[in-house]
Amino acid sequence: MPGYSIDFDSIRKRYCKAVDSFSPGQIVLSEDAYEAVVHNDHCSVYCHQTFRSSGNLLRCGGCKFARYAGVKEQRSAWKNGHQEECAALCACAPRVPPATIRLAARIYWKQQRLTLGDNALPECIQTLEHHWDDLDDERKQSFAQMAIVTREYMKGAGSSNVPDAKYVAYLLARFACNNHTICDDELRPIGVGLYPQGAMINHSCTPNTMQSFCGARIVFRAVQRIPAGAEATIAYIELAATRAERRAALKDNYFFDIDAGQMASCNIFPYEEPLSPAPEEMTLDNTLILELSRVPFTVMDEHDRDLTNVSNAPGSGANALRLQVEKHAPFVEPENEETDSGASQGSADAPDWRVKVQCWGPTFWQGDSVSSANTPKAKAVAGMLAGAVRSHTLAIELLSQGRAAEACRISTRALQTLCRDMQNHIWRMRLLEVQLRAAIECGSQWEVALEAARALLKLYRWLYPKIWPNMGLHLATLAKIAALLEQDDDAARHAEAACAILQFTHPESPILQEMLRLWHDAKASLSAISDE
């Protein structure tokens, strides 16, 4: 008996409800893929039947595309769809269609094997949300074109039966809002699968459940106590994103707004950032909204009211303040800003910023304008944010060119100058992430890496649920850096914390074994020192 049921409400339609209560780490739902495929660029590293990596895979002699861990896996794959797939791949060789097209074809061939009829789908797929009526013409056209390609690919399997284009286009639209990306231990996407039960789980920006993969099997676990009767939710999108980014991603891909209905809890997300357009893309007609929360400095309005203490956002005290910055009159360079670290460059003829302060909720400040003369600090914030964004872009670019030392220097400088007052700001977090990557890639900047990883840990603790894959991996990185620097105390502490998470998020992964070893070694080394 599963510990969940599928219920219905008018906003989210079907949802997954806990019948029993779940404690943190407990499995809520676990399911094999209805169908799954390995991404094209990972085809030679992962077994197409088990989705496990190996350096020694057998290659299908027919299509020369599919790879298998052994003869047993190859036989089982042949019976379960590769027979048709192999013929279709041979017919279009050397080209290989994208993963979603191969997945659609496999679902159709499965339906043929189950003799469901040419244009029929099993109920568990037929009833999946497709949002066809919400799609704009361009997206509909794109699905229609992909459907034509899919049908051509299917014809290569030799059968004269191929489903009509509408069937395929709707199936592809269902994929877009129901598929799960299959990830490896490092959370890199390696394939895509359809999980009809898992697809019943709705989104929350403060989820109580997370998904991980054992091969192509998906496992949903509670990340906090879920009382009986509560809805199980996952994050459809990266949580380490601004509210604006999360809203846009959910609207574009899943056609709902986190402001809608019962999702007001999403407002508690603490990080905000400049919304689009990016500062450097602004034209005179554009405005840039800076959404700040828990601002560590004071912003006053024209009546000397301290706007940073306003806390009246719906559902929480966060996100209460919104500064709207418009290009206006000449811009005054914020103090302490270093131009060579990507900060905004002020000059007499550069446009100025006018700062408009808005608060959510029923306050008399709503929509008030604040003249630039009264808001030097807000202007400094605007300049520093713009500089932080530019430094981040530059550092990422340098990293992609293999110039890790420069990326490390740029991000370090930006963190010391532009972000020093932005303790809990998303752009500080992003700069720290680049700094950490760059410092590790340098291979010599381990002290810098350790500091960055420690600072990120504080932010991640705030941002992620206690049991969360990124958190386990980050603690593992921190433990490894501490061990490298022979800081055994730190290494043991972080390895222990990593194991406490990884046992749920990565139960079968070598990363967990590595952390258990590191924890054991660091403890042994500590007790050897105390014995001396």
Ligand X SMILES: C[S@@+](CC[C@H](N)C(=O)[O-])C[C@H]1O[C@@H](n2cnc3c(N)ncnc32)[C@H](O)[C@@H]1O
Measured between alpha carbons, how far is 189 from 110 in angstroms, rounded to an integer? 24
Give strand pairing partners of 30: 219
Does position 232 interact with ligand X (CB under 6 A)? The reply is no
Stretch near ligand X under the rule CB under 6 A, chosen from 110-118, 252-260, 301-309, 391-399: 252-260
Per-residue 3-state assignment (H helix, E strand, C coil) for 349-391? CCCCEEEEEEECCCCCCCCCEECHHHCHHHHHHHHHHHHHHHH
Stretch near ligand X under the rule CB under 6 A, chosen from 29-37, 250-258, 320-328, 488-496: 250-258
> Site for ligand X (CB under 6 A): how many residues?
20
The SS3 call for residue 191 is strand
Does position 132 interact with ligand X (CB under 6 A)? The reply is no
Q: Identify the residue among 49, 74, 178, 293 touching ligand X (CB under 6 A).
A: 178
- DSSP secondary structure letters along 474-491: HHHHHHHHHHHTT-HHHH
Give strand pairing partners of 224: none
Does position 292 interact with ligand X (CB under 6 A)? The reply is no
Does position 129 interact with ligand X (CB under 6 A)? The reply is yes
Does position 426 interact with ligand X (CB under 6 A)? The reply is no
Does position 225 interact with ligand X (CB under 6 A)? The reply is no
Distance of closest approach, residue 146 Cβ to ligand X, in angstroms: 19
> Whose Cβ is closer to ligand X: residue 14's or residue 377's?
14
Measured between alpha carbons, how far is 287 from 289 in angstroms, rounded to an integer? 6
> Whose Cβ is closer to ligand X: residue 176's or residue 325's?
176
Residues in CB range of 80: below 8 A, 6 or more apart: 49, 110
Does position 143 interact with ligand X (CB under 6 A)? The reply is no
Instruction: Compute how many other C-beta atoms are within 10 angstroms of the C-beta atom of residue 453.
Output: 25
Cβ atoms of 414 and 342 within 8 Å: the answer is: yes
Distance of closest approach, residue 179 Cβ to ligand X, in angstroms: 9
Does position 256 interact with ligand X (CB under 6 A)? The reply is yes
Per-residue 3-state assignment (H helix, E strand, C coil) for 73-135? HHHHHHHHHHHHHHHHHHHHCCCCCCHHHHHHHHHHHHHHHCCCCCCCCCHHHHCCCCCHHHC
Task: Give residue for tokens 């194991």.
Answer: 499
Provide the token pair at 339.
């131009």
> Whose Cβ is closer to ligand X: residue 14's or residue 403's?
14
Does position 251 interact with ligand X (CB under 6 A)? The reply is no
Q: How many CA atoms lie within 13 A of 186 on its CB side?
A: 4
Stretch near ligand X under the rule CB under 6 A, chosen from 123-131, 416-424, 487-495, 507-515: 123-131
- DSSP secondary structure letters along 130-141: --GGGS-HHHHH
Where does residue 52 rank: exposed (0-12), middle (13-18), buried (19+ CB within 10 A)? middle
Where does residue 479 rank: exposed (0-12), middle (13-18), buried (19+ CB within 10 A)? buried
The SS3 call for residue 471 is helix
Does position 176 interact with ligand X (CB under 6 A)? The reply is no
Distance of closest approach, residue 471 Cβ to ligand X, in angstroms: 22
The residue type found at 102 is R
Does position 377 interact with ligand X (CB under 6 A)? The reply is no
Does position 11 interact with ligand X (CB under 6 A)? The reply is yes
Q: Fill in the per-residue mask, 199 to 218: x = in contact with ligand X (CB under 6 A), - = not in contact.
A: xx-xxx--------------
Does position 12 interact with ligand X (CB under 6 A)? The reply is yes
Does position 195 interact with ligand X (CB under 6 A)? The reply is no
Distance of closest approach, residue 36 Cβ to ligand X, in angstroms: 16
Distance of closest approach, residue 250 Cβ to ligand X, in angstroms: 8
Does position 34 interact with ligand X (CB under 6 A)? The reply is no
Measured between alpha carbons, how far is 249 from 32 in angstroms, rounded to an integer? 27
Does position 130 interact with ligand X (CB under 6 A)? The reply is no
Does position 263 interact with ligand X (CB under 6 A)? The reply is yes
Distance of closest approach, residue 198 Cβ to ligand X, in angstroms: 8
Sheet containing strand 353-359, edge to edge, reads 287-292, 321-327, 353-359, 369-370
Q: Identify the residue among 91, 92, 96, 177 touching ligand X (CB under 6 A).
A: 177
Cβ atoms of 202 and 15 within 8 Å: the answer is: yes
Stretch near ligand X under the rule CB under 6 A, chosen from 125-133, 210-218, 298-306, 488-496: 125-133
Q: Identify the residue among 32, 96, 112, 255 touching ligand X (CB under 6 A).
A: 255
Distance of closest approach, residue 440 Cβ to ligand X, in angstroms: 36
> Whose Cβ is closer to ligand X: residue 142's or residue 345's?
142
Nearest to 465 by CA among 210, 213, 242: 210
Distance of closest approach, residue 238 Cβ to ligand X, in angstroms: 16
Distance of closest approach, residue 108 Cβ to ligand X, in angstroms: 21
Stretch near ligand X under the rule CB under 6 A, chosen from 54-62, 196-204, 304-312, 336-344: 196-204
Measured between alpha carbons, how far is 515 from 494 in angstroms, rounded to an integer? 9
Cβ atoms of 195 and 257 within 8 Å: the answer is: no
> Whose Cβ is closer to ligand X: residue 8's or residue 364's?
8
> Whose Cβ is closer to ligand X: residue 31's or residue 352's?
31
Give strand pairing partners of 5: 17
Which residue ranges make up the site for ligand X (CB under 6 A)?
Answer: 11-15, 128-129, 131, 177-178, 199-200, 202-204, 254-256, 260, 263
